Structure 1
Amino acid sequence: MKPDDPLLRILACPLDKGPLTLLEGGGALYNPRLRRRYPIVDGIPQLLPASGDPVADEEHQQLLVRSEPTGRTGRTGRTGP
């Protein structure tokens, strides 16, 4: 999956229904609010609640740096200005 994929505009977290962030490299979608990562397998996002992996605090900070905007809301999950 690429950052300009139109599908990213409509994808939402299955738990909080909020926007997801595409991680650098396109291998996963990330919800920074719930700190859950959803894999993308063969180009298909795995968005079942059970598919989301919880992320520890240290990894959360690393994922925020690696995230790319989804184009849906302009939010990237990054903190600060």
Structure 2
Amino acid sequence: MKPDDPLLRILACPLDKGPLHLLAGDGGESLYNPRLRRRYPIVDGVPQLLPSSGEQVPQDEHETLLKRMAL
């Protein structure tokens, strides 16, 4: 998935229905909800947006992700 993919504009967090941010790095791609500090994996190009597939992000990692998203 690319940052300018139109699909990103319509994807929403399954819990709060808010927008998600694309994270790409060495660990693969994921979608992140900074409001709830939850990350959802992208497996083989398919976002896994079930509430049970999301993982809670620790506070220190959340702060790092916020700085990275602000760039």
Q: 1:24 to 1:66 in 2, by over 3 A?
A: farther
RMSD over aligned Cα, in angstroms? 1.3
CA distance in 1, matches of 2:68, 2:46: 20
CA distance in 1: counterparts of 2:11 and 2:42, whole angstroms: 12
Query: Which structure 2 segments of 5+ residues have no match?
Result: none
When you count strand as a share of all residues, which structure comes out higher?
Answer: 2
Q: Normalization by structure 1: what TM-score?
A: 0.77
Query: How many residues matched?
Result: 68
The alignment partner of 2:18 has SS state of coil
Runs of 4+ in structure 1 deviating by more than 6 angstroms, as ranges, are: none
Match among 38, 44, 47 for residue 45 of structure 1: 47
TM-score by length of 2: 0.87
Which structure has the higher relative contact order (CA within 8 Å, separation 6+)?
1
Higher helix share: 2
